[in-house]
Amino acid sequence: MRFADGSVGPGYNPQIMTTPKSGVIVAVKATQDRNDSNLMSPMLDLFKSCYGKFPKRILADSHYPVQKDGEEALGNKIDVYCPPRKGRKKSTEES
């Protein structure tokens, strides 16, 4: 896995799905993807394989879902709550 400092080594990126009120863990998946983007759909599929249906809604951080994840969620009637991504800040040299 490549880390933020540029080094490469063994590592995992755990994805954990919980219920919002009680915090009960309902799905866990470990991946070697450093970036969380593109990981929402696999978690939703894992949830469905365990419980036979998709959740009604999902709360995610801003870098978790990408457009195709949103389209899949919409197609499966899942409400996605996610703050908008913040734009990259310009350095003083780019201004």
pLDDT at 90: 54
Mean pLDDT of 1-28: 88
Please give the average per-residue pLDDT across 57-74, as a whole number.
Answer: 84
Q: Which tokens is 67 given?
A: 């457009």
Percent of the chain at pLDDT > 70 equals 91
Mean pLDDT value across residues 16-41: 87
Q: Which two tokens stand for residue 49?
A: 């394989």
The residue type at 19: T
pLDDT tens digits, residue range 84-95? 777 655 545 444
User: Over the chain, what is the mean pLDDT?
Assistant: 84
Question: For residues 40 and 58, is the Cβ–Cβ distance under 8 A?
Answer: yes
